[in-house]
């Protein structure tokens, strides 16, 4: 995984809350033994954080 920093290091509280909410959904999916759905939520959380930081992951 190649990470390129393209923006600011400022994270807004709302970005962190959104990420934690999404990770909570991933945890719920894991409790239900649904790894596929959990993986989707984790990817979505990663996207939220990378967008908030202005970073691109290749």
Task: Specify the number of domains making up the chain.
Answer: 1
pLDDT in tens, 6-17: 555 566 788 888
Q: Which residue has the higher pLDDT, 45 or 58?
A: 45
pLDDT tens string 7-55: 555 667 888 889 999 999 999 999 999 999 999 999 999 998 888 888 6
**28-43 burial: b if 16+ Cβ within 10 Å, else e:** ebeeeeeeeebeebbe
pLDDT exceeds cutoff 50 at 3: no
Question: What global pTM score does this model have?
Answer: 0.71
Partnered with residue 55 across adjacent β-strands are 5
Structural domain including 20 reads: 3-57
């Amino acid at each position: 995984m190649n990470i390129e920093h393209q923006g600011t290091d400022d994270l807004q509280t709302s970005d962190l809350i959104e990420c934690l909410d999404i990770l909570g959904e991933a945890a719920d999916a894991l409790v239900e033994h649904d790894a596929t759905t959990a993986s989707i939520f984790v990817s979505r959380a990663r996207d939220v954080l990378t967008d908030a930081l202005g970073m691109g992951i290749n």
